[in-house]
Amino acid sequence: MFRHRLSRQRVVRLLAGAAASALVVLPLAPAATAAEYRGELSSARSATPAAAEATDQAADQVLTWTADASVSRYASAPATATAGAATIVFENSAATGNNIGMSHTLTFDTSTPGYNHDITLDILANPFDENGGRYEAEVVLTPGKYRYFCAIPGHSTMVGELVVTEDPGEDTTAPVVTADVAGQQDADGAYIGSATVSLTAEDAGSGVASVEYSLDGGTYVPYGEPVVLDEPGMYMLEYRATDNAGNVSEPEMAHVTVVPSDGEDTTAPTVTPEVTGELDDNGAYVGTATVNLRAVDAGSGVASVEYALDGGEYAPYTDPVVVDTVGEHTVAYRATDNAGNVSAPGSATFTVVEPSQEDTTPPSVTAEVTGEQDADGTYVGSATVSLLAEDAGTGVKSVEYNLDGAGYKAYTAPVVVDVTGPHTLTYRATDNSGNVSQPGKVDLVVVGGADPPDTTQPIASAQVDGEQDDEGFYIDSATITINARDGESGVAFIEYALDDFIFREYTGPIVVTAGGAHELGYRATDNAGNVTRTGTLRFSIAREGIDACPVSDERPTVIMGDVDSKVANVDTGNGCTIADLIDADGQWVSHWAFVRHVTQVADQLRADGVITETKRVKLINVAKRSDVGR
């Protein structure tokens, strides 16, 4: 073997039969000095051209290492690559930060067990050599791991790994988009005067092609710079991204409230309509349509909301408007705040048609990968894969996943992948009619990290205590206790919101005495800034002689969002129907939170003998199929 210095031109490959080998170089003796190393290379330089073929060929990918004046690490280095041809660039120059003329090598390990040994590359570079410290080499990478290091004595901590995976082929993974809201906030979390929303998109496959956003349900527009919201009110900013392979991310939503900086309320409320129900191919609602009106006012607060159906007189809006008459309909609406500001009238027009049935469509399944990523898109320490299956027909029966070919398993919670290296997770879902989705797939790479930061959310839980009647209602009062724990940076604070969207700091047990149904949202934040997903706790208080549900949902069947369960909506006691307990029209933080709630209600109703086992299963399946909380 012999060692040689690479020229600025690309170094040709040495081929032996059908196997492609890399550069052949001499190992550096441990006691050699940098000067001896340069002399050895100089003496071998004349032999190099005769050993290489003059078939300079461009590689598919370029992998760049740089060095500077440090002897403890490379200034930059790739962590992953794709199997096949590659151009390796090593630069140790003034341009990369080496301003003292220090030599470094890029040497590939050919002896340590557990690594690939098919590349014998050994490059010495100095800012003042004939190439200015920059060299290139053509190699062929094979799947696995390569270890590289600096062979100059005293530089032993300059070492790293390159993980090489098979060519993933077609990019089928959508980009990941995150939103950051900045601005001065008040005690309730509202932004004073203005808020600025910045969007960031990443794609480890073909790269991000575009980012779009929609404000308050409007048309999507391209995102070019941070969005400034400087009018008082509540905003819903929806965003998504598309990669160069045409994959589009699932829309995400940022809710922002802006309040006046001077405290004077001259802004009318904002009313947002939502029409839900099962849609046919023409966009008409099958059987029924439900109109939900949501009014918000960041100043003095909403005083009243009114609606008018099909040109009739305005009436107070207290519950969702259910329309089950076949034909076209228009619901007009307006709201007034406590300062007397009245919103401009709005309207929602839709069509109701006769229902039809038969489910031959398999469920749809989407995957979301989360975790800390480095500059190359690999996940540091671990990656978490969450699966969401939906079926608009008979409902989802099961979801399964297969990690690295180990066989399909039932999916019950997000899958945490924390083993270093490349991984493939495939997934599928089956509905209650036996339709099975086509398998989906996500590819990811996990790399180890020393002293990783705390990126784990705290764990928060809440419970209700108090005397209950036979129907599960709390008598006269209920006490809520919230707990949180965090094994890394520790819990910073806990918050809760009772029967509204305003979060307050939790300092001790909360006693609720108001009769009727209640909803408590809770969350915790740790000292690293990680926040739990908002949990939801629902309970009802029965006061002696008082109807626990004075404004009751008395529709004949239990309807959840866009799906009619066909289960009779009977009174369960204390004036509350099954629909009252399920509360499908409440403000749910997520679809799965709603499904868990319905499961608990259905299990209790079955245990109390209010419903049969068949109806229990039907209520749970309808909750999974519904659009509540999405």
Give the tens place of pLDDT for each residue, 568-590.
Answer: 999 887 678 999 888 888 877 78
State the chain's mean pLDDT as an integer: 84
**Quick one: 547 and 618 in the same domain?**
yes
Q: Looking at the domain assignment, is residue 4 inside a domain?
A: no
Please give the structure tokens belonging to residue 529: 């800034």
| The two structure tokens encoding residue 347 | 């309207």
Residue 383: what pLDDT? Answer: 92
pLDDT digits (tens, 9 = 90+) for 495-515: 999 988 788 999 999 999 887
Q: What pLDDT is attached to residue 103? A: 94
How many structural domains are present in the chain?
5
Residue 454 resides in a domain:
no
Report if residue 452 sits inside a domain: no
User: Do residues 473 and 615 both lie within one domain?
Assistant: yes
Question: Would you state the pLDDT for residue 26?
Answer: 34
Q: Which of 147-151, 187-191, 322-326, 403-407 has the lowest mean pLDDT?
A: 187-191
Shared-domain flag, residues 518 and 474: yes
In whole angstroms, give the CA distance from residue 5 to residue 42: 7
Q: How many CA atoms lie within 13 A of 368 on its CB side?
A: 14
Is residue 281 in some structural domain? Answer: yes
Mean pLDDT of 185-210: 88
Residues 313 and 343: beta-carbon distance below 8 Å: no
**Per the domain annotation, does 152 fall within a domain?**
yes
Q: Give the whole-number percent of the chain exceeding pLDDT 70.
A: 87
pLDDT at 96 over 90: yes
- Verify that 290 and 398 share a domain, yes or no: no
Q: How far is CA 549 from CA 27, 391, 514, 578, 587, in A?
A: 83, 32, 12, 11, 18
Judge if 510 and 608 occupy the same domain: yes
On whether both 374 and 403 belong to a single domain, the answer is yes
Number of Cβ within 10 Å of residue 401's Cβ equals 22
β partners of residue 197: 181, 227
| Predicted pLDDT at 452 | 55
Token pair belonging to 600: 């608990």
Strands 440-447 and 379-380: parallel
Q: Domain end: 332, 353, 374, which one? A: 353
Compute the average pLDDT of residues 267-273.
90
What is the residue whose two structure tokens read 């705390």? 454
| Closest among 379, 382, 373 to 418, alpha carbons compared | 382
Same structural domain, 606 and 471: yes
| Residues 596 and 464 reside in one and the same domain | yes
| Cα first-last separation, the chain | 64
**Residue 498 and residue 437 share a domain:** no
Q: What is the DSSP letter of 392?
A: S
The mean pLDDT of 199-224, rounded to a whole number, is 92
Instruction: Judge if 255 and 294 occupy the same domain.
Output: no
- The model carries a pTM of 0.27
Domain holding 438, by residue range, is 364-447
168 contacts: CB under 8 Å, gap ≥ 6: 82, 205, 443
Closest CA to 267 of 344, 194, 346, 190: 344
Determine the number of helices (DSSP H) and then strands (DSSP E) in the chain.
5, 46
The closest of 151, 148, 167, 144 to 159, measured between CA atoms, is: 148
Q: Quick check: 41 pLDDT over 50?
A: no
In a domain, 525, yes or no: yes
353, 387, 413 - which closes a domain: 353
Please report which confidence band the pLDDT of residue 544 belongs to, taking 50, 70 and 90 as the band edges: low
Alpha carbons 46 and 50: distance in angstroms, whole number: 8
Highest mean pLDDT among 426-435, 483-492, 591-600: 426-435
Beta bridge partners of 200: 178
Q: How confident is the model at residue 307 (pLDDT cuts 50, 70, 90)?
A: very high
The strand pair at 415-417 and 421-431 is best described as unpaired
Listed residue (400, 447, 402, 439) closest to 424, CA to CA = 402
pLDDT in tens, 387-404: 999 988 778 999 999 998
pLDDT, position 267: 82
Is 226 in contact with 195 (CB distance < 8 Å)? Answer: no
Question: Are the C-beta atoms of residues 467 and 542 closer than 8 Å to each other?
Answer: no
7 is a domain residue: no
Give pLDDT, residue 458.
92
Mean pLDDT of 128-155: 94
Q: Which of 563, 567, 557 is nearest to 616 (CA)?
A: 567
Q: For residues 487 and 320, give the distance between their C-alpha atoms in angstroms, rounded to a whole number.
A: 43
Residue 606 scores a pLDDT above 60: yes
Give the pLDDT score at 195. 92
Given a cut of 90, is residue 73 above it in pLDDT? yes
Same structural domain, 227 and 125? no
Please give the pLDDT value at position 18: 28
Note the pLDDT of residue 355. 78
DSSP 131-154: TTTEEEEEEEE-SEEEEEE--STT
d(CA 264, CA 242): 41
Span 253-263, pLDDT tens digits: 999 988 877 76
pLDDT reported for residue 59: 52
The mean pLDDT of 582-599, rounded to a whole number, is: 84
C-alpha 250/C-alpha 390 separation (Å) is: 14
Average pLDDT over residues 238-259: 92
| Domain edge (last residue) among 140, 165, 190 | 165
Q: Is the pLDDT of residue 252 over 50?
A: yes
Q: Over range 13-31, report the average pLDDT.
A: 32
299 forms beta bridges with none
In a domain, 160, yes or no: yes
Tokens representing residue 497 in the block: 């919101």
CA–CA distance, 105 with 151 (Å, rounded to integer): 6
Calpha distance 420→137 (Å, rounded):
28
Same domain, 383 and 432: yes
Q: Please report, as a single letter, which amino acid is at residue 44.
A: A
Report the SS3 class of residue 289.
strand
441/423 Cα distance (integer angstroms) = 10
Do the beta carbons of residue 167 and residue 82 sit within 8 Å? yes
Whether the per-residue pLDDT at 7 is higher than 60: the answer is no
Candidates 470, 464, 463, 466; CA nearest to 607 is 470
* Residue 109 CB contacts under 8 Å (≥ 6 apart), including other chains: 115, 117, 146, 147, 148, 149
Helix axes 613-625 and 591-607, enclosed angle (nearest 10): 170
Quick one: DSSP state of residue 421? E
CATH code of 276's domain: 2.60.40.10
Q: Is the pLDDT of residue 12 over 70?
A: no
Query: Degrees (nearest 5) of the Cα angle 111, 113, 114?
Result: 125
CATH of the domain at 117: 2.60.40.420
